Amino acid sequence: MNEFENKKIGIVGFGRSGQNVAKILKARGAEVFVSENKNMNKDQLKIIADYNLDYEIGHSDKLLSNEIIVISPGVDNNIDIIKKAKLLKIPIFSEIEIASRFLKNKIIAITGTNGKSTTAFLTYQLLKMNGKKAYLGGNISPGKSLSEIVIENPPKEAIIVVEISSFQLENISKFSPNIGMITSISDDHLDRYNSFQEYLNTKVKLLKSVKKDGYKILNYDNQFLKGQLDNNTFFVSIKEEIENGGYLKDDKIFLKIYGNELIYDTQKFNLVGIHNKQNLIFALLSTFLISEKEIKIKSEDLSQLKGMEHRLEFVGEIKNKKIYNNSMCTNPEAFKVSVESLGQEQIVIVGGRNKNFDIETIVETIKDYAQSVVIIGEVKDLLKEKLLQKGYNKFYLANSLDEAIKISLEIPEGKIVNFSPGFSSFDMFKDFVDRGNKFKEIVKKYERPI
């Protein structure tokens, strides 16, 4: 008998995570009730029918008759029904918490405002290069939820690499990875949190969850993480030499761990930007530590590493302009890092929905690096006004992504078109993946036939 057998469990939100956690709980004898706020599509309804799940559209008090509530990452903890559940002291868990209880594998968990997806993907690739069986999942998009990995029944020796959002960390209790990494912390999701401190506290929950004999890897260059010193903590820096962790110097990565020193030349590493070298240091450190300090990876192997879709993804060349899809860029810090990495001969397509953060970083980065900028989305008028206040007038306004791409290709200067929105996608698109895919479809339309 498992701890969820015969338990009444309510699942709030029936997207990818909700669907898969429903499957694993139902398969283990739980009585599952699904509460979804939107009308379901045919695929969702098929799962409801196939697994004989009770469900509702709209969150009613029926949810409160459950013994446990599992909340999907896209669902806000502050909605009324969850507030009621908390008052009734009903245990509330994230999907990642439930799924982890069915795994006996070593887990590397990665969070951070920026860099977490690429770091997770690089870690996954390096583990496989190092002869390990590895799985990649969690909040990574496109990718698998942790519950989906449970369904695949990974062998015990496999290592699970999990990307975790702050939303998922809100509702963990027994989740306990072998390695916890925080790649960065900066303003984001302030539409969901009452303050930056609340957001920071949620991210730092990951460090408290790491196993006693596990490891923590943090960004030494980040003012909010530098002071998070604890047992078995290692740091990553691209700005200065450090003794306990990894750093970048003269295009080489130096790893210093427990008296071991490893050096990697990054000249053959193909991902664009110094921030990706930082991501690589995180990935190398975690691979070394989880592999019990046995590592077969050499500098030349770094050329095999691939980047992720929608993260400074090269998508083609039109009119002698190289075009990059960076739709994952949804906050000022990501915008700054991405734009700086491509130099000063670029046209930047920017805009979307503001998540209540200060856009001064975006304005200054445009002023310093963009030859021209094309602005789209809800933030259009605000960004135009802020740029004019700074004396920057090399901007164009577009009513659609298609129009923005057309304008950017007609601008005479610029060797690069960089689609780094810097804002949320929800004003015009389903999510950043939808936005990035639409961008690539439109670019394809403008490419000359060969």
Residue ranges of the binding site for ATP? 112-118
Three state DSSP letters for 340-356: HHCCCCEEEEEECECCC
Alpha-carbon distance of 324 to 314, in angstroms, equals 5
Could you tell me which residues are beta bridge partners of residue 118?
A: none
Whether residue 155 is preceded by a cis peptide bond, meaning omega within 30 degrees of 0, is no
**Half-sphere exposure of 243 toward its Cβ, with a 13 Å CA cutoff?**
1
Strand order from edge to edge, sheet including 346-351: 313-318, 321-325, 416-419, 346-351, 370-376, 395-397
Q: Which of 262, 422, 257 is nearest to 326 (CA)?
A: 422
3-class SS of residue 264 = strand
Residue type at 341 in one-letter notation? S
Q: Are 246 and 219 in contact (CB under 8 A)?
A: no
3-state helix, strand, coil in the chain (%, to 5): 35, 25, 40
Q: Which residues are annotated as a binding site?
A: 112-118
Task: Provide CB contacts within 8 A for 355, sequence distance 6+.
Answer: 188, 189, 190, 191, 330, 331, 423, 424
Alpha-carbon distance of 40 to 396, in angstroms, equals 39
